[in-house]
Amino acid sequence: MTRVNTRERIKAVALPLFAEQGFAATSIAAIESAAGLAPRAGAFYRHFSSKEALFEEIARERITETPDEFDFEGLRAFGDTRAELVALARRFEIAAERQKPYLRLIEEARLTASGRSLERQANEAMLEALMDWVGAKPGARGLEAAGLAALTVEIFGSWLYYLSKRQQGVELAALDRDELLGDWANRWSSMLDVES
């Protein structure tokens, strides 16, 4: 039988509690109780300095998408911009599906300074990784940072818009997912593969 350490047990029970009850409404005592710890006995604080610290660690590990998760080095091995774009799009899709049960929690976290800071850090890291990937393509070589950032947002913004609408349950009858993905990948790979 595998034994889960207390820190991991706390994280495992806290995320569903946060998602069901909201971050603010979830007490440390409720987390301790769900983790099989004696409420208010101090065990929680041996592992986390605060409920905010617990949430930040959970968010970094399980909610926010990261460049490591997207495996940009592995993408370069494809050697095919279109295939790389499709893989990136699919990875964003997987991240969106993983985040879907936590949308209320994510919105609540954005109301806090630490939540905004965490989101900003995650977004900056992802944008930097995407810019590095785009900047290595022949069609983007030589762009200044601002131009590269704008191009990167333009490329991925349309796919992320589609995913955000799908996540919200909005039916976009004119957009078939596979057709959209194919057209998007064809358009951008043809532009990125041409020397600028």
**30-41 pLDDT per residue, tens:** 999 999 999 888
Asked whether the predicted pLDDT for residue 2 surpasses 70, the reply is no
**87 shares its domain with 132:** yes
**32 shares its domain with 127:** no
**16 shares its domain with 40:** yes
Provide the domain limits for residue 136: 64-192
| The two structure tokens encoding residue 178 | 């596979």
In a domain, 123, yes or no: yes
**54 shares its domain with 79:** no
Chain centroid to CA 159: how far? 14
Q: How far apart are CA 36 and CA 38, in angstroms?
A: 7
**165 shares its domain with 74:** yes
**146 shares its domain with 95:** yes
Rg (CA), the chain: 20
Which pLDDT score is estimated for 4?
67
